[in-house]
Amino acid sequence: MCRHLGWLGAAVPVSSLVLDPPNGLLVQSYAPRRQKHGLLNADGWGVGFFDGPVPRRWRGANPLWGDVSFASVAPALSSSCVVAAVRSATAGMPIDAGAAAPFTDGHWLLSHNGVVDRSVLPLDPLAESVVDSAVLAALIFRRGLDDLGSTIAEVGAADPGARLNIMAANGSRLLATTWGDTLSVRRRPDGVVLASEPYDDHPDWQDIPDRHLVDVRDGSVSITALPH
């Protein structure tokens, strides 16, 4: 399982979300605290952020801690909406930068933490990679993010062994699901962070129950149970 993070709020340097916190994604890439599947996340990483309405991505196939450029440039990349992930590849999946989240349809950035049997998903020529997460992302993009909860419940019913933890954003809205793994939310004065696990020990972090949808927009956070 991977670890991922989403931010919606004021413009902040991406390094302040990903690299600087004591237990941020950088540390989670080698010492996650709550990960249930896998010991580390060394099979790649991706940081996506909105530049106005345009999603931009920087991804790599190597461990985030070994990247020679990201730490230098990240403090200069500021955004009000970020989706980032560190990856522990599922057995049999390709390990290349194109298989690392976040995926995009040109409007949304999307990360999947989990595993799904690709045979329950439609083949989609728009999938960015053959990795299960990219095929799932293509289905979610095709159905539309307004239907994220029902799409996840449907895929979960078709593959009872699936773990379907999604993080997605389009610059003005941040959505996440819990389906088999952890997620926490922190409401900060300047915005909202969703993360597979808290990036520090601040008391404001709140755990999201399993099989829920989190929808952040216009400064408010709604948490609802998914059908199952």
Closer to ligand GLN by Cβ: residue 79 or 182: 182
- Convert 107-143 into a string of H (helix), E (strand) and C (coil): CCEEEEEEECCHHHCCCCCCCCCCCHHHHHHHHHHHH
- Ordered alpha helix ranges (H), the chain: 14-18, 25-28, 70-73, 132-143, 148-158
Nearest-angstrom CA–CA distance, 52 and 50: 6
Q: How far is the CB of 133 from ligand GLN (least distance, A)?
A: 4
Q: How far is the CB of 25 from ligand GLN (least distance, A)?
A: 13
Closer to ligand GLN by Cβ: residue 187 or 212: 212
Confirm or reject binding of residue 90 to ligand GLN (CB under 6 A). yes
Closer to ligand GLN by Cβ: residue 32 or 198: 32
Residues 103-122 that bind ligand GLN (CB under 6 A): 112-115
Pairing between β-strand 163-169 and β-strand 184-188 as defined by DSSP bridges: unpaired
Which of the ranges 75-83, 86-94, 119-127, 147-155 carries the binding residues for ligand GLN, by CB under 6 A? Answer: 86-94
Q: Is 81 a catalytic residue?
A: no
Q: Distances from the Cα of 209 to the Cαs of 145, 162, 189, 212, in angstroms?
A: 21, 17, 23, 6
Q: State which of residues 12, 74, 93, 145 lies at the interface with ligand GLN (CB under 6 A).
A: 93
Of 88, 80, 89, the C-alpha closest to 109 is 80
* Cβ contact 100:25 at 8 Å: no
Confirm or reject binding of residue 25 to ligand GLN (CB under 6 A). no
Residues 129-188 that bind ligand GLN (CB under 6 A): 131-133
Write the single-letter amino acid at 220: S
Confirm or reject binding of residue 214 to ligand GLN (CB under 6 A). no
Closer to ligand GLN by Cβ: residue 102 or 191: 102
Q: What is the CA radius of gyration of the chain?
A: 16
- Exactly one of 2, 110, 115, 164 is catalytic; which is it? 2
Active site residues: 2
**Which residues would be at the binding site for ligand GLN (CB under 6 A)?**
1-2, 87-90, 93, 99, 112-115, 131-133
